[in-house]
Structure formats: C-alpha cells, structure tokens
Structure 1
C-alpha cells in the first residue's frame, strides 16, 4: 500500500496537541524547514546555550526557533527575556512560543530580511545569533544572504552559532569566507548533533 502523507498528517493532527506531535506534524509538512523529526534535545539545547556570548546591553537572536527547545535553554542560562528575540516563518509553531513565553520578542518573518523587522537600535547590538535553520540545505545564494544578515545584526568580529546533524561543517567555510569550528557535540540527541561557531575569515 503506498505511503499517504496527508492521511498520516491528519491522523497526527487528531492526537492531543503536544509540542512533540505538533513539531512532527510540521516536519511532515515542511521537512526542509525543520530537518529533524523531533525538537532539539535538552542536551543539545544546553550545548547551544553554553556557547552564547553577549554584553549586558546586547540581545540574543534565535533563528528557526520552532516550539522553543533552544529558547527554554537560553532563558535557563540567564538570557533576560526582554533581550531574547525568537524568529520563525511557521505561524503554528510560533503560537506555542507566544503562549509560553509572553515576555520575549517573537517575530514571524524571513530570517534573511530580519533587519527590516527590527528597530534600528537593535541592529548591531546582538551579541550572538543562533541559526536553527537547516542552512546546509539552502542554495548557495540563500546561504550567503542569511550569513550576511546574521553578521549585520552583530558588532564586527562576532560569530554566529549553527547546530547541525552533519558529521562535518554544515557550511563550506572557504567558499563563504568563514572561519569556523565545532564547539560542542552531543550523542544525546536524535540524531546526534554538533554546535558550530562561524566568524568572518581574516583576509589579512
């Protein structure tokens, strides 16, 4: 019997609207957007949060926030809710965030055009950008646009974080002019995942 994705989605939709089921249903609808069957584990979320750097008056921006697994870890690690900006294009997932985290800024928009949706005073005042978007699946021009946008949010020389299920760097560092390194890895995620940090490559 052939696989019927629409019937499976309908069956999942009929179950209680828990975070896991919602995430899985949205994955089936938009697999390239989420790139994983399940939300990030607590182990991966903590690994990401531990790599965040920000000054007292700086913000943290999370791209591709989903249902908030990383968001919770950022708040638990001490990022003030008024300094946290969560971004996604999926209105259904963002509804979960808005209900649970009333004090953070939640934006439904294209991450590659985020500076147009933020007050000018915030642009350049972001300590760390976290990329939860499966950036390795994007065409090269879209990767370039998203990377440029992330660096535009931060002071010069800062790095953005990207978590991935790939064994190697999810981005071609030389081609994109990046200096990057694996900062953390956890097997306690399905599938195992790594956290990478990327900064502009020194041209000197």
Structure 2
C-alpha cells in the first residue's frame, strides 16, 4: 500500500479540523484498534464490495485494505475535498467519491452498484441532523446484501446524551439486529462499535 509522501495524514486531518470543525467531529483520527474493530465486518474472501462513509485520512481505510482480498472493491465517500484528495493519493486502489453520504444512492448508481457486502461508517453522527441520519441509514439498508453488515461507532462519554440515544433508536428502527461491542479503550476518546444486520425492508 502506497502512502502519500507529500503530506502526512495527521497534518491533513488537523487542517480539515481547523477549516471545518462542525463537519469533522474529532480531534484526531480513529486509532488502529478502533479501525480494526470497524473493519471486522469486511469479508476476507471472494470479491466483496465495501463502502466506507466518512473516510477522513484513511485510518479505517487501512484496516479495510488489510482484510479485503485483492479482487474486492472499496468505495470511500468523503465530504471534505482536501481529505478526499489525500485519500486518493495515499490509497490509489480505493475508489474515492468526494460527496456527502446523504447522496450515497447517487454515488453507488454512478458506479453501477446496487448491492454491497459491507458498509463501514466513520461519520460524526452527532453533527448530522436526525433527518439526514435517517436518509443515510435508509440508503445503507437499501443496498446492503442479505448477509451483509453495517458498522459504525459511538464515543463512550456521549452515550448518555440525547443525541446518542436517538441515534441508537434510529439504528434499531432500521435494522433487525444491532449489537454493541465492548469498549475500545485504546482510542481517544474511548468508543464502542455497533454491528447492524438484516435491515427492515420497507
């Protein structure tokens, strides 16, 4: 895997935080431990199609690439233009879409994809309004293969807050199975992940 030699990931990430603090939603990228947990739903055999939402500088992208077979396809959706450009340079095998995750249906349609095997969510859900959260989850539910899984994360300290509780309720309204994992302490802040399967089909 080739990593960009022009600018390191952390300076690019910090630049995005300064430019768009209400969009990035974190002070540092996800830790390798959290990235591995999120990527655990990625199939490691055959030719899976994996979508990553909010790829940032590629912390989770690296974990996905380490699991995914050479024949797999990885589409990364990133809203920030500078981060998207960094991703494409650092990970030339990833199909990077500079787009908002609420337009996931359009992103996939442009690529001729109507079904994916896994969706890995790195979005700052607390900064996204409930209607937009629901729209994104509806798109995920629509394209997820019957045996596929969606995974995302929540910071431990935020779980008691109303926004985090409402998001958990949205997950449970969208998926038949929502499994919280044990806490990843080796992340700042500590976080847990949700593994979601079997969308409720409308």
TM-score bracket, shorter-length normalisation: 0.7 to 0.9
Tell me, yes or no, if the aligned pair for 1:75 and 1:81 is still in contact at 8 Å: no
Question: Computing the radius of gyration over CA atoms, which structure comes out larger, 1 or 2?
Answer: 1
Q: Deviations over 1:139-180 (max 9, x none)?
A: 211111010011122124643111221353942326861442
Label 1:82 to 1:136 Cα distance change in 2 as closer, same or farther (>3 A): same
Could you list the runs of 5+ residues in structure 2 that have no partner in the other structure?
A: 1-5
Task: Name 2:173's counterpart in structure 1.
Answer: 177
Task: Name 1:86's counterpart in structure 2.
Answer: 76
Tell me, yes or no, if the aligned pair for 1:162 and 1:195 is still in contact at 8 Å: yes
What is the aligned residue count?
187
Out of 150, 155, 164, the residue aligned to residue 145 of structure 2 is: 155
Q: Write the distance in 2 (CA, Å) between the matches of 1:175 and 1:107.
A: 24
Q: Write the distance in 2 (CA, Å) between the matches of 1:23 and 1:52.
A: 24
Q: Deviations over 1:67-117 (max 9, x none)?
A: 101001111123437511111011101111111111221101121112212
Out of 21, 38, 53, the residue aligned to residue 48 of structure 1 is: 38
- What SS is found at the alignment partner of 2:102? helix
The alignment's TM-score, normalised by the length of structure 1, stands at: 0.79
The alignment's TM-score, normalised by the length of structure 2, stands at: 0.80
Task: Name 1:123's counterpart in structure 2.
Answer: 114
CA RMSD, 1 decimal: 2.6
Tell me, yes or no, if the aligned pair for 1:164 and 1:193 is still in contact at 8 Å: yes
